[in-house]
Amino acid sequence: MYLRPSLLTPVIVLTLALPGVWAMRQSGSVPAASTLTRYVTIAPGESLDAIVDKASRVVPSDNQLSWQGREMIAFAHFGMNTFTDREWGDGQESPALFNPSDFDARQWVRVLKDAGMKMLILTAKHHDGFCLWPTATTVHSVKSSPWRNGEGDVVAEVSRACREAGLAFGVYVSPWDRHEPGYGDSPRYNEFFRTQLRELLTRYGDISEVWFDGANGEGPNGKRQVYDWPSYYRVVRELQPNAVIFGMAPDVRWVGTESGYGRETEWSVIPLTLRDAAAIRPGSLHPLDDAFVPGDLTAADLGSRDAIRAASVLAWYPAETDVSIRPGWFYHAAQDPRVKTPEKLVDIYFSSVGRNGVLLLNVPPDTRGRISDADERSLSGMRAILERTFAATVAGPSASRVFPTTDRPMTFEVPLGNENVFDVAMLQEDIRQGQRVEAFRLDVCVGEVCREFARGTTIGHKRLLRFPEVRTAASQGDGRVRLTIEQSRGTPVVSAVGLYKMAR
């Protein structure tokens, strides 16, 4: 927790919010709220300075802001593949195979919430087309299985468990369906898929994220299915207006790997490809839905000055960083010894949440319908390390201090206590006012002597840095940490800084 920046304060103020947490407030040349926007268009021939200024004014929607604030969310790959010991099914599996022996959605939610997850996304339908809810669209679902005597509904039980525990709930629903005979007959299948979406989005309460991947193939007719993405978006917007849509939609993008590691420089404001600029709907809550073209966003550089120089549209399009706790996405007993260690999960946390992303960690339930002991132990160990590390900052100001906004590069200083040992730094921007910091460094200063101990590029919602241990002693006196913003897009709005000692 920390105090949010004020748009009205004409100077930079360093304020102690909660013990050891610093909130930096500043305004000066911060754009007025009326100039902030979800996207900007770039005219041919605009200067790079003009484009950079426009980029500084792009901000998240309320839905994107809520999503970003969750920071760490869970995936649960569970379905037919759990029982066939496969990763991708072919749609020919018998529903009789789906029969978890001790299904317990509350156990999933307890384990995941204890690990610090804020949402659970369930694979309601994977590529094999088997549905974890009793859909009216196909017999290839739980209603044809022996589980709960054909009366069960996995989506209902998981959504209810999330709601009871205060976790947000989301659904993964695969557009690729290897069982459905109509797949490949594009108009027919698109209507089929919209019907499935309507079932999922009307029966199970609030849905916070709808997850679409881009897997695509040929249908029984030998034709490749053409997905009608804008029509899918319209169903989601109508029925679950507070949800973000992941992947093949303009809300949240795939980071580009399944390693759990984001880019060292991760911009949330990036160029988009549009099918027709005339299809943009200014004033709409989702102005880009009808114009957006899903595409490959796996490049190492998506949002630098070089990357935005030739853009026609810039939009807030943040990264979700997905990874599985196991080598595979579904549970396989043979992989029990290969569950990622707590230390590995912490490294992934620093490299996803700590690089301006949201971590989507897959924890696949086993054939009992429970999260395995091995996975639970690793998650518990991760949570313990993170809690010990971020329980309190090493140092913080004892009183408010005011700094002028006229210096370039911009510098913030924080006094240290008598003795300090730290090797982790946390920085945050107030992304409600955009993402602006392009380069920064951190120095520890004693008297007039300063020594750099860390540097970085983007900050965004959160940046975490690890570095060799820094020690200051009481005898040195006048110790302080200096944050220097070396380059930014307009006036940076840094909302929090903290120093920590990494738990081992």
Is 296 domain-assigned? yes
How many structural domains comprise the chain?
3
Residue 3 domain-assigned (yes or no): no
pLDDT above 90 coverage of the chain, percent? 79
Q: What is the 3-state secondary structure (H, E, C) of 306-360?
A: HHHCCCCEEEECCEEEEEECCCCCCCCHHHHHHCCCHHHHHHHHHCCCCECEEEE
Question: Do the beta carbons of residue 318 and residue 356 sit within 8 Å?
Answer: yes
Which amino acid, residue 391?
Answer: A
Mean pLDDT of 223-237: 97
- Which residues span the domain enclosing 291? 36-60+269-317
CA 498 from chain centre, in angstroms, equals 21
Do 309 and 198 belong together in one domain?
Answer: no
CA distance 82 to 60: 37
pLDDT score, position 201: 98
Q: Give the CATH number, domain containing residue 480.
A: 2.60.120.260
What's the pLDDT tens digit per position in 452-469? 999 999 999 999 999 999
Is residue 466 one of the residues assigned to a domain?
yes
Picking from 231, 239, 222, 225, the residue whose alpha carbon sits closest to that of residue 129 is: 225
Higher pLDDT, 304 or 18: 304
Q: Tell me, yes or no, whether 6 lies in a domain.
A: no
**Global pTM?**
0.91
Count of CA atoms in the C-beta half-sphere (13 A) of 405:
18
Is residue 427 within 8 A of residue 494, CB to CB? The reply is: yes
Instruction: Give the pLDDT confidence score for residue 475 in this predicted structure.
Output: 59
Residues 178 and 299 occupy one common structural domain: no
Would you say residue 7 lies in a domain?
A: no
**Mean of the pLDDT values across residues 37-42?**
94
Residue 399 pLDDT > 50, yes or no?
Answer: no
CB 349 within 8 A of CB 382: yes
Rounded distance between C-alpha atoms, residue 436 and residue 491, angstroms? 7
Same domain, 50 and 101: no
Q: What is the mean pLDDT of the chain?
A: 89
- Domain match, 280 and 345 both: no
Report yes or no on 98 lying in a domain.
Answer: yes
Q: What is the pLDDT of residues 254-285, one digit of tens each?
A: 999 999 999 999 999 999 989 888 899 998 89
Q: What does the pLDDT read at residue 31?
A: 58
Q: Check whether 59 has a pLDDT greater than 90.
A: yes
Same domain for 46 and 160? Answer: no
Q: What is the pLDDT of residue 453?
A: 97
Question: Which pLDDT does position 35 carry in this prediction?
Answer: 79
Same structural domain for residues 46 and 128?
no
Q: Provide the pLDDT for residue 33.
A: 60
pLDDT of residue 363: 98
Identify the domain boundary among 317, 350, 379: 317
- The rounded distance, in Å, linking the Cα atoms of 224 and 221 is 9
CATH number of the structural domain spanning residue 221: 3.20.20.80
Q: What is the Cα Rg of the chain in Å?
A: 24
Asked whether residue 104 falls in the same domain as residue 253, the answer is yes
Continuous H helices in 250-325: 305-308
Residue 476 is predicted with a pLDDT of 58
Report the alpha-carbon distance of residue 193 to residue 189 in Å, rounded: 6
Give which of 57, 51, 37 is closest to 305, Cα–Cα: 51
Q: Which of 389, 422, 441 is the last residue of a domain?
A: 389
Q: For residue 4, tell me if it sits in a domain.
A: no
Q: With bands split at pLDDT 50, 70 and 90, how would you rate the model's confidence at 102?
A: very high
Spell out the SS3 assignment of 183-250: CCCHHHHHHHHHHHHHHHHHHCCCCCEEEECCCCCECCCCCECCCCHHHHHHHHHHHCCCCEEEECCC
Mean pLDDT of 68-82: 98
pLDDT at site 14 = 29
Give the whole-angstrom CA distance, residue 212 versus residue 190: 14
Q: For residue 72, give every residue at least 6 positions away whose Cβ sits within 8 Å of its Cβ, in sequence order, or none.
A: 116, 117, 118, 349, 353, 358, 359, 361
DSSP of 90-127 = -S---GGG---SS--HHHHHHHHHHTT--EEEEEEE-T
- Statement to judge: residues 215 and 349 lie in one domain: yes
Instruction: Flag whether 475 is in a domain.
Output: yes
Q: Name the burial class of residue 365, with classes exposed (0-12), middle (13-18) and buried (19+) by CB atoms within 10 angstroms of its CB.
A: buried
Lowest mean pLDDT among 17-31, 127-141, 422-436: 17-31
Q: Determine the angle formed by the axes of helices 186-203 and 229-239, rounding to 10 degrees.
A: 20
Q: Which of 339, 374, 389 is the last residue of a domain?
A: 389
Contact call for residues 345 and 379 (beta carbons, < 8 A): yes
- Identify the DSSP state of 26: -
Based on the fold, state whether residues 98 and 224 are members of the same structural domain.
yes
pLDDT at 2 over 50: no
Tokens for 120?
A: 């659970």
Share above pLDDT 70 across residues of the chain, in percent, rounded to a whole number: 90
What is the model's pLDDT at position 417? 73
Task: Give the pLDDT mean for 284-301.
Answer: 93
**Do 169 and 142 have their domain in common?**
yes
How far apart CA 154 and CA 101 sit, in angstroms, is 13
- Phi/psi at 471 (5° precision): -125, 135
Assess whether 45 and 166 both reside in one domain. no
Distance CA 159, CA 170 (A): 8
Give residue-wise pLDDT tens across range 111-156: 999 999 999 999 999 999 999 999 999 999 999 999 999 999 999 9
379, 344 Cβ separation under 8 angstroms: no
Q: Are 294 and 182 members of one domain?
A: no
Per-residue pLDDT at 408: 62
CA distance linking residue 494 with residue 26, whole number of Å: 8
